[in-house]
Amino acid sequence: MKSKLYWLVLFVLLGSLLLSACGGAAATEVYVDPGAPAMFAAATEAPATEASAMDDPAAAVMAAAQEVVEDAQRQEANASDDLTAAFASNQMIIKNADLRLQVKDMDLAIDRTTQAIGDLGGYIVNSRVWYQDFYDGVETKKYKYAAVTIRIPVGQFERLLGRLRGLSVKVLDETATGEDVTNQYVDLQSQVTNLEATRDRIKSFLEDAKTVDEALRINQELSNVEAQIEALKGQLNYLQNRSSVSTVNVNFEPELPEVKPLPTPTPIAWNPGQTFGNATETLTSAYQGIADFLIWFFVAFLPTAGPPLLILWLIIKFARRKPKN
């Protein structure tokens, strides 16, 4: 593009020089090298006091040509910058993150998370709070847990992650993902454009339909194309919404105490002498129990219950005695 512009300027310069020579100006041989654009710079760098636009038309044309070249260079640079900016701004990246944070105060962490979401322009999709039992080796206590799903503008994604990390005592787990869907979005846009052009051609065919049957068939094809366009536009809207808003899943866990270890039982060594002593004591206690029972039976029970039992036995025997014939 630059070379063509230079050739155009050269032709304009030669024409102006010929016109000035024909008008009675002083004839001067000028050799122009097409491959040396520096001649234009040398001509424009000449002091303005040597010739003015009224006295030297060639110098004026050369100055104008240099301005055209500079404008073209500026426009090309601006177009390149605009293209780079447009490429950066049109990047569509779907960002997601999963965090598992350990916090000291669960209620305070939830309140500050809600405040951070409001400050950054996000919103809560869903949240859950529950309790779990924990046995520390001595007693069982209930501890509070929480889970929050957040939608945040993609520009505030990293700031939200930083504020969430600041709420935790320890980051137990963190996963962040990004999916570039720019090419997919551009492909869908191209398909929509092609289908819209097809739809317009079908509409023109519908206007030229001569029979009802032909009109119905064209209308059916038009309906199919419009359905495809709506489906593609739905995908475009989905990609645009997902890339403009990021999703962050946060799980809050309490700071649990250390589990106290259970005491280890001490093994007892085998001692035959002690076992023999224990067996002797058991045998002695058994014989002592038997002797005590006999003493109680003959000294206390038998004298007390013996006479009544004997009288009862005699009465029963006398009653059962048969009379003699």
For residues 163 and 189, membership in a common domain is answered with no
For residues 24 and 43, membership in a common domain is answered with yes
In a domain, 259, yes or no: no
Is the confidence at residue 117, as pLDDT, over 90? yes
Buried b (16+ CB within 10 A) or exposed e, 166-175: ebbeeeeeee
* Angle made by CA atoms 270, 272, 274, in degrees to the nearest 5: 95
Question: 124 has which bridge partners?
Answer: 150
User: Any idea what the CATH number is for the domain that residue 134 is in?
Assistant: 3.30.70
- Give the range of the structural domain holding residue 11, as residue numbers without chain letter: 2-88
The structural domain count of the chain equals 3
In a domain, 197, yes or no: yes
For residues 73 and 119, membership in a common domain is answered with no
CA atoms 113, 118, 122, 127: torsion sign:
positive
For residues 121 and 156, membership in a common domain is answered with yes
In a domain, 17, yes or no: yes
In tens, the pLDDT along 121-179 reads: 999 999 999 999 988 777 888 999 999 999 999 889 999 999 999 999 999 999 999 88
For residues 13 and 80, membership in a common domain is answered with yes
Is the confidence at residue 24, as pLDDT, over 90? no
For residues 16 and 78, membership in a common domain is answered with yes
For residues 103 and 172, membership in a common domain is answered with yes
Is the confidence at residue 247, as pLDDT, over 90? yes
| Mean local confidence (pLDDT), 42-68 | 44
In a domain, 252, yes or no: no
Among residues 178, 207, 222, which one ends one of the domains? 178
Exposed / middle / buried, residue 205 (Cβ in 10 Å: 0-12, 13-18, 19+):
middle
Distance, CA of 120 to CA of 133 (rounded, Å): 35
In tens, the pLDDT along 32-46 reads: 444 333 333 333 344
Q: What is residue 48's predicted lDDT score, i.e. its pLDDT? A: 42
- Please state the pTM of the whole predicted model: 0.48
For residues 49 and 25, membership in a common domain is answered with yes
Q: What is residue 58's predicted lDDT score, i.e. its pLDDT? A: 43
In a domain, 157, yes or no: yes
Q: What is residue 44's predicted lDDT score, i.e. its pLDDT? A: 39
Distance, CA of 128 to CA of 299 (rounded, Å): 80
In tens, the pLDDT along 260-308 reads: 766 677 777 778 888 888 888 888 888 888 888 888 887 887 788 878 8
Which residues touch 136 (CB under 8 Å, ≥6 apart)? 256, 257, 258, 259, 260
Among residues 88, 114, 138, which one ends one of the domains? 88
Among residues 178, 194, 211, which one ends one of the domains? 178
In a domain, 121, yes or no: yes
Distance, CA of 119 to CA of 163 (rounded, Å): 11
Q: For the chain, state the CA radius of gyration.
A: 53
Tokens of residue 256, six digits:
């649990």
In a domain, 134, yes or no: yes
In a domain, 253, yes or no: no
For residues 123 and 77, membership in a common domain is answered with no
In tens, the pLDDT along 254-269 reads: 988 887 766 677 777 7
- Write down how long the chain is: 325
